[in-house]
């Protein structure tokens, strides 16, 4: 009995969602309270050595292939731009540009730069090095120029930002350059996302505990760059030492940043629930937060921005190694392009049990890998090793509705599931399937163990496929119609020319024989030349 | 008698009024013809736009026109397959027919690929392609733009050196799809 | 391939599976069942046992017919729960052969002809009950007098249930001596004779009837389910609330409200029958509408309709409306 009362008391104490209507943090719908022990945190950040070979997939965030700026056999320095948004993580020689397996749910092979490191790790020499403050001022000046017509300025800002090679380090990898450029239209609230909500992922927490000064300077720089009216650092209440470190370091910067502690609830760190918690605003499914004057930037990205201002473009990241079958859980800093097998070997994690699964991403947002030869990218925030366990077979949906209770996007997963099974994709679209953030909450509570998130991913890609096919059909029809018109025009022109010729022949009773005679002469002379 | 006549007159007037109002309230431009045009557009939107002429008509829009105007059967499109037949049946209210195998077989979507080592640059395939998906000029290399190829196979017969093959399109990262969960 | 969930226990979330939910509901029914067996008749236990056994055998057979793995499909316990509810709904003296017919209809026509678990639009227990009600009106409306529950020995009861045929019901002395109308039936018969039912004598009859503690025990079970978060508050509150409002509106024509609430199967229906997740509306708004419909229809059928207890037909009628309710309520947040 007393246990129950205590549990009740803890629940009331823990939930610090504000009771006031107009005071953040606001509650978001659904979500789950998960076990947030982060095994990786115990030992700080381990610096991983540079591997002998690095693989850099040439693919953009929008899944389009990138063109490399270097060729096979070229020697590159650390920090040198190899493609749009990709810099060399170390110095060495480009061995080849070939298809290589990547971290992808379908284990796709994508054209990648294979770099052999020369062991020197020498950086690109920058002539006319400015201090980070001067660099920032330059950026700000170009950023806030009122001369809209000056496309050159815009381009140079974009080029500089691209050289930083920044990508969102929260797991999605959205190119930060584009995000910052979009914020030029006027930013009201900047939210620094330090709410690492998924279990096992502790890379941001470790970074905050060890590099809080650089993070704060990075936040300061972004605030000055975007000239936002207010800046909030949102962090979960289960990270007390990180909160303490950040609180201290935020006092030493010029900009005023509000440190907001939000209750630990999955998925509080996803963009939509986070914006709702911090500002109370709900972003509609097809809108972008920047349209509301809000922008979210991951705390590690802010750190990377500061490093980039100091001529250290983004070429490595902190990765959490966790999972119940990981022998030695820890946080490591690895260069992009490092094979996962190298990461595991150099952290005393190579003796994996025979029947264990390696997973990229968190327990709810990640997927299993088929091989560990795949390279680390900006999106790799966590590597888990889990014991292989038999899958619980999915049973029939009993329409209990628990899934809708926990959905942070306030969707109806049950209806989406039934409609996907019935291949009614239009109805799925009407039910805002694209607002699904694939958090996995519905999967956790489903009594019938139905793979709901996988179903929605399948439905989304089917809808994408149908839309692509429809677009292709429309394009094909247009090209066909254009070709028909062209052929028709040509036929018509020919017919008109023939008619004209006929008419002209009729008009001059005398046939125009000069051309004919000339042709006849040519033929005769050729024949004459042939006959000896 | 008078009441009866009055009622009949009232009735007739109501019918007349109803007809007049119905005529007036029809949206502008809605005639028998434009109804047909609308239906042709709808049918055309359901066809795969391969422009292969396997249905016997020189393109997808002519087939759509034939379906509406000449009541051609809806089962003549092999690239569209059973799905297109089902969609058309739903739109037109006609029964679902099996694909007419005289027109062709339903095959998975393939794209044409020119073997560049054999191509002689004769432009015959370029003239044959209904959607201008082949790039090239006389005595210069010809290449099929995979994204634009509809797999209609009209370029295969004209090629004098038989250098065009059909193959499954390579899956790029943007085209990869999640498999259906079991 | 991506196998999203590793282990729910590892994530620290208490997410019960289908089987656990069904077992929890059966557990919640036990207090009411025991009160029933004590205050009304132990025949209900016989009914429950027979119904569950027959139902599970039939389901294994039906699943085999549909070419699925027999053991897996009956492991979820949903048909056991439905059989339990059917056994609670029918009178304890119902002959076994009639009960078995009801179970057959429940399993086959109420569930498997639609595709099994999750696919049936109608509440299977109520389908079985309605079929029995319509087919065997005499035996389905004869209940034990609650003031002498132990008058009949258990053996005589079993003997009766095994042997009673429709033809000999009226002449069977056992039957005549023991069975009696439920309070609701009694009230209805009085009203048909135009007797005022707000008489104090009639009200005291309710107090003596064992149905009050039985319904109270079911209420406790229902509150247990609410506490365990197996069901949500929307359905019980809307069913009972709408019934309450209706009876307050028609107060002078009806039995006193507090008696009406605790008689018949309203509590059982509100917490256990209307909350069957497969056949009720999907969203909370839909469930409120569903519950209001059930409560209103129950009152109407009891008050103005041809049956003493309306919850079964009310639930079935609202099951008919569920696709429409779901379709209308697809607004997302």
Give the closest of A199, A396, A435 to C116, CB-based.
A396
Which tokens hold the place of A295? 């922008």
Task: Give the range with max mean pLDDT: A193-207, B13-27, C2-16.
Answer: A193-207
User: What one-character DSSP code corresponds to residue C121?
Assistant: S
Contact B49 A457 (CB under 8 A): no
Contact A108 B174 (CB under 8 A): no
- Is residue C6's pLDDT more than 80? no
Query: Domain residues of chain B, as ranges?
Result: 32-92, 111-167
Chain C nearest-CA distance from A422, in A, is 13
- Show residues of chain A in contact with B61, CB under 8 Å: 477, 481
- Using a CB–CB cutoff of 8 Å, tell me whether C277 touches chain A: yes
Chain A nearest-CA distance from C230, in A, is 9
For residue A107, the chain C residue with the least C-alpha distance is: C1
Which residues of A fall below an 8 Å CB-CB distance to B? 59, 62-65, 104-106, 108, 110, 451, 454-455, 457-458, 460-462, 464-465, 468-469, 472-477, 479-484
pLDDT in tens, C73-99: 667 789 999 999 999 999 888 888 999
Chain A nearest-CA distance from B47, in A, is 8
Which tokens hold the place of A104? 């992808």
> What's the pLDDT score for residue A143?
76
- Using a CB–CB cutoff of 8 Å, tell me whether C71 touches chain A: no
> What's the pLDDT score for residue A35?
80
Q: Give the three-state DSSP class for A133.
A: helix
Terminal CA-CA length for chain A: 125
C70-100 burial, b at 16+ Cβ within 10 Å, e below that, comes to eeebbebbbbbbbbbbbbbbbbbbbbbebbe
Chain C nearest-CA distance from A24, in A, is 20
A265-297 burial, b at 16+ Cβ within 10 Å, e below that, comes to bbbbbbbbbbbbbbbbebbeeeeebbebbbbbb
Domain B111-167 adopts which CATH fold?
Answer: Alpha-Beta Plaits (3.30.70)
Contact A62 B174 (CB under 8 A): yes
Question: Which residues of chain A are under the pLDDT cut of 70?
Answer: 1-22, 39-40, 42-43, 144-154, 185, 353-354, 509-512, 530-532
Q: Beta partners for A297? A: A192
Chain A nearest-CA distance from C15, in A, is 5
Tell me if A83 sits within 8 A of A67, measured CB to CB. Answer: yes
For residue A481, the chain B residue with the least C-alpha distance is: B131
> What's the pLDDT score for residue A489?
95
> What's the pLDDT score for residue C71?
58
Tell me if A123 sits within 8 A of A88, measured CB to CB. Answer: no
Spell out the long-range contacts of B175-179 with Cβ–Cβ below 8 A and sequence spacing 24 or more: B175/A465, B175/A468, B176/A104, B176/A106, B176/A108, B176/A461, B177/A458, B177/A461, B177/A462, B177/A464, B177/A465, B178/A105, B178/A454, B178/A457, B178/A458, B178/A460, B178/A461, B179/A106, B179/A458, B179/C1
Chain A nearest-CA distance from B58, in A, is 11
> What's the pLDDT score for residue B82?
86
With a threshold of 0.95, tell me whether the complex ipTM lies above it: no
> What's the pLDDT score for residue C222?
95
- Show residues of chain B in contact with A64, CB under 8 Å: 174
Tell me if A29 sits within 8 A of A349, measured CB to CB. Answer: no
Residue with tokens 């045929």: C165
> What's the pLDDT score for residue C149?
46
Give the closest of A402, A444, A451 to C11, CB-based.
A444
Mean pLDDT of all residues belonging to chain B: 87
Contact C16 A447 (CB under 8 A): yes
pLDDT in tens, B139-164: 999 999 988 888 888 999 999 999 99
pLDDT tier at C166, thresholds 50, 70, 90: very low
Nearest Cα to Cα of residue C39 among C163, C167, C193, C210: C210
- Show residues of chain A in contact with C8, CB under 8 Å: 444
pTM value is 0.81
- Is residue C147's pLDDT more than 60? no
> What's the pLDDT score for residue C177?
47
The burial of B13, by beta-carbon neighbours within 10 Å (0-12 exposed, 13-18 middle, 19 or more buried), is given as exposed
Mean pLDDT of all residues belonging to chain C: 80
Among residues 197-256 of chain C, which lie with CB inside 8 Å of chain A?
A: 232
Terminal CA-CA length for chain C: 31
- Is residue C182's pLDDT more than 70? no
User: Parallel, antiparallel, or unpaired: how do β-strands A109-117 and A189-194 relate?
Assistant: unpaired
Give the closest of B48, B132, B174 to A479, CB-based.
B132
Looking at domain A130-309, its CATH architecture is 3-Layer(aba) Sandwich (3.40)
Query: Domain residues of chain C, as ranges?
Result: 16-180, 183-333
B115-127 burial, b at 16+ Cβ within 10 Å, e below that, comes to eeeebeebbebbe
Nearest Cα to Cα of residue C182 among C32, C291, C36, C30: C36
Among residues 39-78 of chain B, which lie with CB inside 8 Å of chain A?
A: 44, 47-51, 59-61
pLDDT in tens, B104-113: 888 887 899 9
pLDDT tier at C333, thresholds 50, 70, 90: very low
Q: Which strands sit side by side in the sheet containing A75-76, from one edge to the other? A: A53-57, A109-117, A92-101, A75-76
Nearest Cα to Cα of residue C175 among C89, C92, C93, C100: C93
- Show residues of chain C in contact with A411, CB under 8 Å: 332
Residue with tokens 């392609």: B129
User: Which CATH number among 2.40.160.20, 1.10.15.40, 3.40.50.2300, 1.10.357.10 corresponds to the domain B32-92?
Assistant: 1.10.15.40
- Is residue C146's pLDDT more than 60? no
State the Rg of chain A over Cα: 31
Helical segments of B1-148, H only: 2-25, 32-46, 60-69, 81-92, 124-128
Chain A nearest-CA distance from C83, in A, is 17
Q: Where in chain A is the domain with CATH 3.40.50.11540?
A: 130-309
- Using a CB–CB cutoff of 8 Å, tell me whether C306 touches chain A: no
Among residues 110-139 of chain C, which lie with CB inside 8 Å of chain A?
A: 116-119
Tell me if C214 sits within 8 A of C40, measured CB to CB. Answer: yes
Nearest Cα to Cα of residue A17 among A276, A299, A405, A245: A276
Please name the residues in contact with A125: beta carbons below 8 A apart, sequence gap of 6 or more: A77
pLDDT in tens, B115-133: 989 999 999 999 999 999 9
**Average of per-residue pLDDT across C139-146:** 68
Among B150, B151, B172, B173, the strongest candidate for a mutation testing the A interface, having the largest count of A CBs within 10 A, is B173
Please name the residues in contact with A338: beta carbons below 8 A apart, sequence gap of 6 or more: A48, A50, A51, A54, A375, A376
Which tokens hold the place of A355? 């029947």
Q: Give the three-state DSSP class for C198.
A: coil
Q: What are phi and psi of C145, to 5 degrees?
A: -70, 120
Tell me if C202 sits within 8 A of C183, measured CB to CB. Answer: no
Give the distance, in angstroms, between the CA of residue A236 and the centroid of all CA atoms in the same chain. Answer: 23
Contact A444 C119 (CB under 8 A): no
Q: What are phi and psi of A71, to 5 degrees?
A: -120, 170
User: What one-character DSSP code corresponds to residue B172?
Assistant: P
- Using a CB–CB cutoff of 8 Å, tell me whether C10 touches chain A: yes
Which tokens hold the place of A95? 């061995």
- Using a CB–CB cutoff of 8 Å, tell me whether C21 touches chain A: yes
Which tokens hold the place of B75? 């089962």
Helical segments of A385-513, H only: 402-406, 413-421, 425-430, 441-445, 452-507
Measured CA to CA, the distance from residue A461 to residue A453 in angstroms comes to 12
> What's the pLDDT score for residue B143?
93
- Show residues of chain C in contact with A444, CB under 8 Å: 5, 8, 11, 13, 15
Contact A110 B173 (CB under 8 A): yes
Among C1, C9, C10, C11, the strongest candidate for a mutation testing the A interface, having the largest count of A CBs within 10 A, is C11
Residue with tokens 């794209």: B111
- Show residues of chain A in contact with C3, CB under 8 Å: 357, 367-368, 391
For residue C10, the chain A residue with the least C-alpha distance is: A35
Tell me if A473 sits within 8 A of C24, measured CB to CB. Answer: no
């Amino acid at each position: 009995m007393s246990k129950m009362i205590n549990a009740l008391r803890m629940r009331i104490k823990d939930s610090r969602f504000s009771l006031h209507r107009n005071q953040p943090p606001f509650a978001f719908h659904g979500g789950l309270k998960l076990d947030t022990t982060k095994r990786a945190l115990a030992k700080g950040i381990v610096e991983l050595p540079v591997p002998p070979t690095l693989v850099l997939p040439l693919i953009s965030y929008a899944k389009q292939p990138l063109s490399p700026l270097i060729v096979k056999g070229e020697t590159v320095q650390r920090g040198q731009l190899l493609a749009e948004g990709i810099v060399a993580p170390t110095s060495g020689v480009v061995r080849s540009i070939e298809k290589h397996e990547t971290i992808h749910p379908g284990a796709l092979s994508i054209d990648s730069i294979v770099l052999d490191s020369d062991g020197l790790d020498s950086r690109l020499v920058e002539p006319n090095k400015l201090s980070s403050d001067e660099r920032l001022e330059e950026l700000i000046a170009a950023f806030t120029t009122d001369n809209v017509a000056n496309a050159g300025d815009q381009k140079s800002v974009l080029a500089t930002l691209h050289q930083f090679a920044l990508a969102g380090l929260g797991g999605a990898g959205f190119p930060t350059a584009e995000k910052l450029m979009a914020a030029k239209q006027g930013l009201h609230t900047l939210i620094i996302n330090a709410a690492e909500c998924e279990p096992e992922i502790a890379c941001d927490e470790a970074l905050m505990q060890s590099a809080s000064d650089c993070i704060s300077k990075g936040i300061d720089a972004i605030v000055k760059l975007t000239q936002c009216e207010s800046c909030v650092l949102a962090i979960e209440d289960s990270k007390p030492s990180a909160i303490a470190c950040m609180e201290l370091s935020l006092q030493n910067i010029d900009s005023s940043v509000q440190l907001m502690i939000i209750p630990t609830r999955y998925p509080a760190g996803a963009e939509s629930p986070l914006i709702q918690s911090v500002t109370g605003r709900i972003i509609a499914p097809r809108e972008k937060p920047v349209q509301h004057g809000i922008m979210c930037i991951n705390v590690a990205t802010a750190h990377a921005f500061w490093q980039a201002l100091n001529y250290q473009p983004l070429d490595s990241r902190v990765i959490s190694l966790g999972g119940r079958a990981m022998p030695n859980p820890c946080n490591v800093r690895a260069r992009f392009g490092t094979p996962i097998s190298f990461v595991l070997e150099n952290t005393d994690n190579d003796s994996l049990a025979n029947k264990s699964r390696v997973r990229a991403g968190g327990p709810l947002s990640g997927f299993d890998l088929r091989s560990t030869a795949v390279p680390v990218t900006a999106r790799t925030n966590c590597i888990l090793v889990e014991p292989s366990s038999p899958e619980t077979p999915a049973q029939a949906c009993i329409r209990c509705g628990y899934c809708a209770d926990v959905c942070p996007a306030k969707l109806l997963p049950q209806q989406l599931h039934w409609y996907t099974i019935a291949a009614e994709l239009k109805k799925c679209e009407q039910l805002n399937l694209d607002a699904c953030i694939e958090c996995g909450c519905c999967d956790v509570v489903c009594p019938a163990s139905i793979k709901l998130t996988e179903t929605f991913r399948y439905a989304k890609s089917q809808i994408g496929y149908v839309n692509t096919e429809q677009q292709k059909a429309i394009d094909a029809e247009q090209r066909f119609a254009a070709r028909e018109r062209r052929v028709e025009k040509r036929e018509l022109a020919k017919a008109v020319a023939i008619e004209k010729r006929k008419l002209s022949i009729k008009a001059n009773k005398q046939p125009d024989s000069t051309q004919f005679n000339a042709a006849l002469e040519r033929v005769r002379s050729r024949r004459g030349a042939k006959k000896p | 008698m008078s009441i009866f006549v009055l009622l009949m007159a009232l009735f007739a007037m109501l019918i007349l009024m109803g007809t007049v109002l119905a005529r007036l309230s029809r949206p502008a431009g809605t005639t028998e013809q434009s109804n047909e045009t609308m239906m042709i557009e709808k049918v055309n939107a359901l066809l795969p736009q391969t422009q292969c002429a396997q249905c016997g008509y020189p393109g997808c829009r002519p087939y759509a026109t034939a379906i509406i105007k000449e009541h051609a059967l809806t089962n003549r499109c092999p690239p569209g397959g059973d799905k297109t037949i089902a969609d058309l049946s739903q739109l037109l209210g006609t029964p679902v027919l099996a694909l007419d195998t005289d027109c062709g077989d339903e095959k998975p979507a393939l794209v044409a690929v020119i073997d560049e080592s054999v191509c002689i640059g004769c432009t015959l395939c370029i003239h044959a392609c209904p959607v201008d998906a082949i790039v090239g000029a006389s005595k210069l290399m010809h290449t099929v733009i995979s994204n634009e190829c509809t797999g209609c196979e009209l370029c295969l017969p004209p090629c004098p050196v038989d250098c065009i093959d059909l193959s499954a399109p390579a899956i790029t990262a943007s085209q990869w799809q999640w498999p259906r969960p079991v | 391939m991506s196998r999203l969930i590793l282990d729910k226990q590892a994530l620290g979330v208490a997410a019960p599976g289908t089987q656990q939910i069904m077992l929890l509901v059966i557990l919640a029914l036990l207090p009411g069942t025991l009160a029933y067996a004590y205050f009304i008749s132990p025949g209900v236990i016989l009914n429950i046992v027979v119904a569950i056994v027959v139902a599970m055998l039939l389901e294994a057979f039906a699943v085999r017919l549909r070419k699925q793995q027999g053991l897996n499909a009956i492991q979820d316990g949903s048909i056991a729960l439905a059989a339990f509810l059917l056994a609670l709904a029918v009178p304890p003296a119902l002959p076994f052969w009639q009960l078995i017919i009801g179970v057959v209809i429940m399993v086959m026509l109420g569930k498997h002809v639609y595709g099994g678990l999750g696919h049936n639009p109608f509440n299977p227990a109520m389908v079985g009950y309605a079929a029995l009600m319509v087919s065997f009106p005499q035996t389905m409306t004869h209940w034990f007098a609650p003031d002498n529950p132990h008058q009949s020995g258990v053996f005589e009861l079993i003997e009766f249930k095994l042997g009673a045929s429709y033809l000999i019901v009226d002449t069977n002395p056992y039957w005549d001596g023991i069975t009696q109308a439920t309070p609701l039936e009694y009230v209805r018969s009085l009203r048909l004779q135009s007797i005022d039912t707000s008489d104090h004598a009639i009200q005291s009859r309710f107090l003596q009837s064992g149905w009050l503690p039985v319904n109270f025990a079911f209420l406790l079970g229902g509150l247990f389910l609410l506490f365990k978060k197996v069901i949500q508050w929307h359905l019980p509150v809307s069913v009972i609330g709408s019934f309450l409002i209706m009876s307050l509106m028609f107060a002078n024509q009806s039995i006193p409200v507090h008696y009406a609430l605790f008689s018949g199967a309203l509590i059982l229906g509100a917490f256990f029958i209307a909350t069957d997740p497969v056949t009720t509306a999907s969203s909370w708004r839909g469930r409120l509408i569903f519950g209001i419909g059930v409560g209103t229809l129950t009152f109407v059928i009891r008050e103005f309709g041809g049956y003493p207890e309306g919850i079964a037909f009310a639930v079935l009628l609202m099951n008919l409306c569920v696709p429409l309710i779901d379709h209308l309520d697809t607004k997302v947040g």
